[in-house]
Copies of this chain bind each other. A is one copy, B any other.
Amino acid sequence: MPILVTAMFTFPLGADAALLPRTAALTEAYHELLAANQERLARWEPWATQPLTPDGTRSFLEASGHAWLAGTEFPVAIAVPAGDRWQLAGSAGLRISAYSQSAEGGYWIDAAFEGRGLVTRAMTALLDQAFGPLGLARVTLHTEVANQRSRALAARLGFTEEGVHRQAISFPGGRRDEVAYGLLAAEWLTRRAS
């Protein structure tokens, strides 16, 4: 039985899911979800190869909340309804560079929630924010060359492949190549208008 959370403020992703602000208020549930997915995520994400602790998760979420208030990040949790509460299903976010008016996206989803289009819907909502109210000019995604699922998502969202950064990702067992994707404001707005 997963830990459920309450949230006053939400962003609906259709009737069966929503985004919540990703802050320290979610610590217990978020840590549980991270722990359940750590081994799986460690296949693609270097941070997931490090030991997890509840205090570390709390610090991470406190930093996310403060970065959100400061306008340097847009951190969200993906959640599904569970009675009058929410069950966490994944995480998404944008790291914003005011200097270059761009952002870098990121996301992960619990194994049990793959296949429902939750990440696509979450990233679509974040890209609408990025190219709408936030007024950004460009969003990037970086993923390991071998991560086909993530590459398919980038393609589905309309991103263009812009290069391969050789051995740019550091894993305990060695370094791996990273593929870089870019999406421009005009591209997204055209896509959403069509």
Contacts and interface: CB of A to CB of B under 8 A. Distances in A.
Contacts of A165: 140, 162-163, 180, 182
Taken together, the copies of this chain in the complex come to 6
B170 A23 contact: no
A123 B34 CA distance: 35
A125 interface: yes
Contact of A69 (B47, B65, B170): B65
Interface residues of A, number: 44
Contacts of A25: 71
A69 B162 contact: no
A90 B34 CA distance: 38
Interface in A82-109: 99-102
Contacts of A132: 6
A66 interface: yes
17 contacts: A6-B133, A8-B19, A8-B125, A9-B11, A9-B20, A10-B10, A21-B21, A24-B69, A66-B66, A69-B69, A100-B170, A101-B170, A137-B175, A138-B175, A160-B166, A162-B164, A165-B182
Interface of A: 6, 8-11, 19-21, 23-25, 46-47, 62, 65-66, 69, 71, 74, 99-102, 125, 129, 132-133, 137-138, 140, 160, 162-170, 175, 180, 182, 184
Which 7 A-B pairs have CB atoms at the shortest separation, nearest pair first?
A163-B163, A9-B9, A6-B133, A65-B69, A162-B163, A100-B170, A101-B170
